[in-house]
Amino acid sequence: MPYRRAQALTGITGILVTPYDDSGDIVPARLGPVLDRALGAGLHMLVVNGNTGEFYALTTEEACNMAREVVALVNGRAPVLAGVGRGLRDAVALARASADAGATALMVHQPPDPFVAPRGVVDYLHAINDASGGLPMMLYLRNDGIGTRAIADLCAG
């Protein structure tokens, strides 16, 4: 039975690694057997382009390819949470590519600028939301720079 969109951020999550070949190129197809086994064992959701998946070592093009390939390999068997981030243009491109590929939701890495104000983070998240067509978002926060007030404002509307 296909999952419902409301179930996108519930259950047991598996964060995928990024497979490489001997020359350092990504080879998403190598995840096929891993995905089959994980989904067969009861995993509910898969995460592509997370920190464990070498997100910051990938180019934006490679991250877009990983999102497209993983969504295709999963083939509707489970929700796919796609990591997006970096500077605004890259994050927007990744959000658009992930949505176009069929990702269920986005995991937004914190912007890399350590001096960004909470209002800037809110604007960043709104731009990502717009680019994805409104996919649900999970914030991957590594510090409290955004502040609880900005998070409350985001959740309110």
Instruction: Give the distance, in angstroms, between the CA of residue 25 and the centroid of all CA atoms in the same chain.
Output: 20
Whether pLDDT at 7 is above 70: no
pLDDT in tens, 40-70: 999 999 999 998 888 999 999 999 999 999 9
Is residue 18 within 8 A of residue 66, CB to CB? The reply is: yes
Domain annotation covers residue 7: no
Q: Tens of pLDDT along 72-107?
A: 999 999 999 999 999 999 999 999 999 999 999 999
Residue 1 domain flag: no
Query: Within a domain: residue 8?
Result: no
Q: Which residue range forms the structural domain that includes residue 65?
A: 13-156
114: in domain: yes
Residue 36 domain flag = yes
Does some domain include residue 81?
yes
6 assigned to some structural domain: no
Burial category of 135 from C-beta neighbours within 10 Å (exposed 0-12, middle 13-18, buried 19 and up): buried
Number of domains, the chain:
1
Q: Is residue 4 part of a domain?
A: no
Q: Which residues contact 121 (CB under 8 A, 6 or more apart)?
A: 110, 111, 145, 146, 150
Q: Which two tokens stand for residue 42?
A: 């009861």
**CATH code for the domain in which residue 33 is found:** 3.20.20.70
Identify the pLDDT of residue 152.
80
Two structure tokens written together for 67: 């999102």
Residue among 93, 38, 42 at smallest CA distance from 70: 38
